[in-house]
Amino acid sequence: MGFIMSFSSFIPPQRTLMGPGPSDVSARVLSALARPTVGHLDPTFVGMMDEVKSLLQYAFQTHNKFTIALSAPGSAGMEACFVNLVTPEDTVIVCRNGVFGARMIENVQRLGAKCVIVDGTWGRAVNPQQLEDKLTQHPEAKFVAFVHAETSTGALSDAKTLCSIAKAYDCITIVDAVTSLGGVELAVDDWQIDAVYSGSQKCLSCVPGISPVSFSEQAVELIQNRKTPVPSWFLDQSLVMAYWSGEGKRAYHHTAPVNSLYALHESLLMLQQEGLENSWSRHFQQHQALAQGLKTLGLDFIVPEGERLPQLNTVAIPQGVDDAKVRGYLLNEYNLEIGAGLGQFAGEAWRIGLMGYAARTENVALCLAALKDALVKFG
Ligand SMILES: *Cc1c(COP(=O)(O)O)cnc(C)c1O
C-alpha cells in the first residue's frame, strides 16, 4: 500500500571492537546464540538458567542466592539497584568521578531521596578519605554507591576499601561493576557489597542487552520489608525473584531473551574454564603490552599508574591531531573501533578497550600498528 520495500539482509562488517563496549564476541559465543530457541519455561531452559546463576556467583565471587541476569542492559541493572532499595526518606552518598557516577545521582534524585555527592576528579579513583568525611558529616546516610571501574575515564577505584568504610558507618553498599566483572579482581562477599550490577558486553564479551545483578541477604530483606511497592513494575526484584528462583515452580514474569541467555551461559562458561584469576592477569598483561607500545608512539595515559583500568585505557589525544579523522580512519582502513572521549574528556581522549575476548596479543598489535599509521597521516 504505497510502501517501497527494497531491503536485503543486514550483513555487518567484521570489526575488531576495542572501545568501551561492546567488546569482541567470540565465534563460540555467537554460535551459542544461534542454537534453536526453546520456550522460556521449558525444563531444559530452566536448568540452564540455574547454571547461569551458579556461574554468575562464581564470577561475582558471592554466595548470594539472589544472583541473576536481568533481561536488559547495564543501565537497567543500575536502575534496579536504586529503585528496589532506595525510598524517598533515605539519604544516599554517591561518589562521582565520571559519567556513570553522575547517572547514579540522577537515579537517586528521580526517586526523591536525598543525595549527598562525593565529588572526585575525572580520571582519578574515588578518594576514600573524602567518602569518610561525608559519612561523618551525614550520620543519617543509609547507602553508599560508587562505580568500581569508571569506563568514561579509565579509573579503577578501591572497592574493598570504600565498602569497608561504608560498612563502618552501617551503610548498605551499591556498586557498579559493569566494566570490572571478569577484567579485574571483584569479590562481592569478601568486600561486603550489598547490591552489584554488571553488563554482558564488556569483559564477559557476550552480546549486549543483559545485566547480571546480585543482592546480599541484607539487601533482599530490605526489598521484602518495603512499605511501598517498588515504583517500577518491570524492575521490581520481588517479582523477578519468583521467575528466577528454583524449587520447581516458576511464575511467569516476562519472556526471557532465551538465545541471549545461551550466549551469556557460554561466555560465563568460558570465564570459568579459563579461571577468574587467569582472566584478570590476561587483562593486565595485555594492558602492559599496550601501554608499552603507546609510550613508543608518544601517547600519554590520562589516569595515573596504579589507578588505571587494564581493560579501558584512556590516552590523551596529542595536540593538533584530529580525533574524528583518526577514529574514522581506523574504522574504515582497519575495521578497528576505539572509543571517543566521554563527558569532560570528549575530544580530549581516546578510550582503548581490552575487554574479555578483545584482550589478546593480536588485538594489541593491530591497534598499535593502526594508531601508528593514523598518527603519521594525521599527526
Ligand atoms: C557500559 C556501562 C554502563 C551501562 O551499561 P549499558 O549496557 O550500556 O546500559 C554502566 N556503568 C558502566 C561503568 C559502564 O561501563
Note the residue count of the chain: 379
The confidence score (pLDDT) of residue 243 equals: 82
What is the distance in A from the centroid of ligand 1 to the CA of 212? 12
Which atom number of ligand 1 is nearest to the Cα of residue 200?
Answer: 7
pLDDT at residue 14 is higher than 60: yes
What is the distance in A from the centroid of ligand 1 to the CA of 75? 6
- Tell me which architecture the domain covering 16-22+276-378 has in CATH: Alpha-Beta Complex (3.90)
Q: How confident is the model at residue 247 (pLDDT cuts 50, 70, 90)?
A: low
Q: Which residue in 194, 236, 244 sits closest to 62, CA to CA?
A: 194
pLDDT more than 90, % of the chain: 93
**pLDDT single digits (tens) 257-303:** 999 999 999 999 999 999 999 999 999 999 999 999 999 999 999 99
The confidence score (pLDDT) of residue 11 equals: 97
Q: How far is CA 347 from CA 58, 232, 293, in A?
A: 38, 36, 22
Report d(CA 121, CA 322) in Å as an integer: 26
The residues, any chain, with a CB within 8 Å of residue 299's CB and separated by 6 or more, are 315, 316, 318, 371
Task: Confirm whether pTM is higher than 0.95.
Answer: yes
pLDDT more than 70, % of the chain: 99
Residue with cell 578518594: 127
pLDDT, mean of residues 211-225: 97
Residue with cell 567470540: 26
Which atom number of ligand 1 is nearest to the Cα of residue 149?
Answer: 13
Q: Is the dihedral of CA 270, 272, 275, 281 positive or negative?
A: positive
Question: What residue ranges do the domains of the chain occupy?
Answer: 16-22+276-378, 27-272
The confidence score (pLDDT) of residue 246 equals: 58
Mean pLDDT of all residues belonging to the chain: 96
Which atom number of ligand 1 is nearest to the Cα of residue 100?
Answer: 11
What is the fold of 27-272?
Answer: Aspartate Aminotransferase; domain 2 (3.40.640)
Q: Which of 94, 176, 178 to mutate to test the pocket of ligand 1 (most atoms within 8 A of CB)?
A: 178
Confirm whether 16-22+276-378 and 27-272 share one CATH topology. Answer: no
pLDDT, mean of residues 115-129: 98
**pLDDT single digits (tens) 302-339:** 999 999 999 999 999 999 999 999 999 999 999 999 99
What is the distance in A from the centroid of ligand 1 to the CA of 199? 7
